[in-house]
Amino acid sequence: MSELAVVIREAILTVLPTVPEEPLDLIVGKLLSQGVETTEDLIHVREEDILEFLQPIQCRKLLTAWKQGDCHGS
């Protein structure tokens, strides 16, 4: 797994610590395939990009956190 993939996983788990492993891996893979190159790119992710893997409220919580700058796994 690339360093960026690990950082994206941490950014997701920081906000949604109970996401199961399988959807987590699928989200990371999709974000990478859609062109996410840095954690700063996460602010450009839209709900429809990840809705197939998460519940709507989970998507909104995650995207809100990323837009507020909480995408560094800290």
Asked if residue 71 has pLDDT above 50, the reply is: yes
Question: Is residue 27 a contact partner of residue 6, using CB atoms and an 8 Å limit?
Answer: no
Contact 47, 63 (CB under 8 A): yes
pTM of the full structure: 0.88
Give the pLDDT score at 54.
97
pLDDT at 73: 47
d(CA 60, CA 56): 6
